[in-house]
Amino acid sequence: MNDPQPTEGDFLPMDEYDEAIDHAPMTTRWVSPGVLYLVATPIGNRADFSQRAQAVLSGVDAIACEDTRHARPLLTHFGIHTPLWAVHQHNEAAQAQHIIAALQAGKAIAVISDAGTPGISDPGSRLVRAVAAAGLVVSPVPGASAVISALSASGFGDQPFWFEGFLPSKVAARRVRLQTLQSVAATLAFYEAPHRIGEMLQDACAILGAERPVVIGRELTKRFESIVHTTLADACAAIESGRIPARGEFVVLVAAESSSEPAREAVAVDRLLTVLHEEGVSARSMARVLVEVAGFRRNEAYARAQAVTGKAIPSPLAQD
């Protein structure tokens, strides 16, 4: 099936586009010719739009955006009148070649998504890969990111996290994916749309565990922002009862299973001791490895090594 064709007004025709960027002044010291800039835009609160981001968008020759109708009001509000070029999921691969040609001709191009950081669960990744493969420079202009904002307010930010983004919309595929993620020893970070948030939480509750801690971020940075710390079971009830309205954009952070990391470490230690035993390493030396390298207490190291080898270890090592 062919990609849907952009409708009139989606982006400038190539001849008008070339004329527009030929006459667009380079107004900022933060813009260099031949560079693709990935510019983060606000996820809700316009005051989060950085001065550098505004300057870059004013100074580039053209802005590739997800939807011109969405981008134009934001840019107009900040007095940015740079030509827009629609690059979305349906035409990203094809339009990448036009952007590469413009960059090779010395033009500076910026990429924005509807909100947040381009390429993070938004169009942009294929374009970046193509531009990088062509040997051209890609430069990020950082700013708002829904997942990072939620993590910073979750209390989970000091742990590893797995950014999953949007789960599959179909029930069977979503459940299969959640089952795969069940064993990941990290905070699981999801985006979800309001019309699917209830079903998504129900599936997560059933598969990941009803008592798993979860943080629900809704409408982050906006007037009705809410961040709820609870469990998956309570989150399901809150959505069903309306305590958490099923409206707006959601970030869902599910804490890592508390038993996952200790269990994984136990398996790794047992495997290490087994390998050392198979190589003929003495029980005393095995225990010393656990003490010196893995930080075990001596009595615990003695017990673990003896369990593998069945041999006693001289008592001095067993003294705490």
**So what's the pLDDT on residue 287?**
83
- Give the residues of the chain that fall short of pLDDT 50: 1-12, 14, 17, 20-26, 259-264, 315-320
Please check whether residue 282 lies inside any domain of the structure: yes
Residue at 246 is within a domain: yes
Q: How many CB atoms lie within 10 A of CB 196?
A: 17
63-99 burial code (b ≥16 CB/10 A, e <16): bbbbebeebeebbeeeebebbbbbbbebbbeebbebb
pLDDT at position 311, please? 60
CATH number, domain with residue 200: 3.30.950.10
Residue 272 is predicted with a pLDDT of 80
Q: Is residue 5 part of a domain?
A: no
- 50 with 63, same domain: the answer is yes
Over the stretch 242-263, which tens digit does the pLDDT of each residue have?
A: 999 999 999 999 999 874 444 4
- Predicted confidence at residue 308, as pLDDT, reads 72
Q: Are residues 128 and 156 in the same domain?
A: no
- Tell me: do 190 and 279 sit in the same domain: no
CA–CA dist 231, 212 (Å, integer) = 5
Name the residue range of residue 265's domain: 260-318
Domain co-membership, 93 together with 178? no
What does pTM read for this prediction?
0.70
What is the count of structural domains for the chain? 3
Say whether both 30 and 99 belong to one domain.
yes
Kindly state whether residue 8 falls inside one of the protein's structural domains: no
Considering the domain boundaries, does residue 1 fall inside one? no
Q: Give the per-residue pLDDT at 228.
A: 97
Quote the strand ranges of the chain, DSSP E. Answer: 35-39, 62-65, 84-86, 109-112, 137-141, 161-166, 187-192, 213-218, 226-231, 250-254
Q: Are 104 and 51 part of one and the same domain?
A: yes
Only one residue has tokens 């999953």, namely 164
Q: What's the chain's Rg over C-alpha atoms? A: 26
Considering the domain boundaries, does residue 19 fall inside one? yes
